[in-house]
Amino acid sequence: MTPNDLLGSGMTSSRTRERMVNRLMEQGITDLSVIDVMRRTPRHIFLDEALAHRAYEDTALPIGHGQTLSQPYIVARMTEALLADGPLKKVLEIGTGSGYQTAVMAQLVGQVFSVERIRALQDKARTRLQLLKLHNVRLRHTDGGLGWPEEAGFDGIIATAAPLGVPKALIAQLAEGGRLIIPVGGGEVQDLLLITRRGDSHETRMLEQVRFVPMLGGVL
């Protein structure tokens, strides 16, 4: 990948990307900072070359190892929900995958910590984030169900893989008032939950139904 690939052409051009963000607004995304960042971020570099021409379709796409790059609407929706209570300094992401969601968040919050259990995906994501000069991201190869305890006190945590139940470690690593956005459930369709930490307790709100790959234990 070279800096030239960032520009794109035809199906990966900025015009195609403009159509994608127009669709996001039609679908109900209202946070203009999120729209703006998705307009600027070249989603096609987060896919293998053979799939790059499909990058701006409104669909999830394979990134290898049985994993997927989330649909643009879901990336926008989760990012918007994460930011809805004001600016965030420190965000943890579980499931770096392609690094696209990471790249979007890195342009909207102070610092992103992102963990991934599949080393090969993490390596590719790192190269892409460097190409985009996003230096406020730290990546770690680990089982994300455990979070990133040394950095705990996150204003936001976002999970892009679905566990059967909410991992307690993640709630524990939220700062006071911090927000955890996580798909939960074992079926093909899961509930996207917004959990807000309030002292020793927390509040849960169901946002919508979504389809994510499962959160798995151990590392590869």
CB closer to ligand SAH out of 199 and 218: 218
Closest by Cα among 79, 95, 75 to 87: 79
| Token output for 160 | 């892009």
Q: Which long-range contacts (CB under 8 A, 24 or more apart) does 31-39 make?
A: 31/76, 31/79, 31/80, 31/83, 31/84, 33/83, 33/108, 34/76, 34/79, 34/80, 34/83, 34/104, 34/108, 35/76, 37/104, 37/107, 37/108, 38/72, 38/75, 38/76, 38/104, 39/14
In the residue annotation, 70 being an active-site residue is answered as yes
CB closer to ligand SAH out of 16 and 96: 96
Q: Could you say whether residue 72 binds ligand SAH (CB under 6 A)?
A: no
**By CB under 6 A, what part of segment 86-115 binds ligand SAH?**
94-95, 97-98, 100-101, 115
Integer Cα distance of 155 and 91 in angstroms: 6
Q: Could you say whether residue 116 binds ligand SAH (CB under 6 A)?
A: yes
Question: Least distance in Å: CB of 158 to ligand SAH?
Answer: 8
Q: Could you say whether residue 42 binds ligand SAH (CB under 6 A)?
A: no
Task: Return the range that interacts with ligand SAH (CB under 6 A); candidates 26-34, 48-56, 67-75, 132-140.
Answer: 67-75
Closest by Cα among 124, 101, 87, 89 to 37: 101
Question: Least distance in Å: CB of 22 to ligand SAH?
Answer: 21
Q: How many residues bind ligand SAH (CB under 6 A)?
A: 24
8 within 8 A of 42, measured Cβ to Cβ: yes
Q: Could you say whether residue 132 binds ligand SAH (CB under 6 A)?
A: no
Question: Least distance in Å: CB of 100 to ligand SAH?
Answer: 4
Q: Could you say whether residue 145 binds ligand SAH (CB under 6 A)?
A: yes
Which one is catalytic: 70, 98, 114, 201? 70
Task: Return the range that interacts with ligand SAH (CB under 6 A); candidates 37-45, 51-59, 116-124, 132-140.
Answer: 116-124
Residues recognised as catalytic:
70
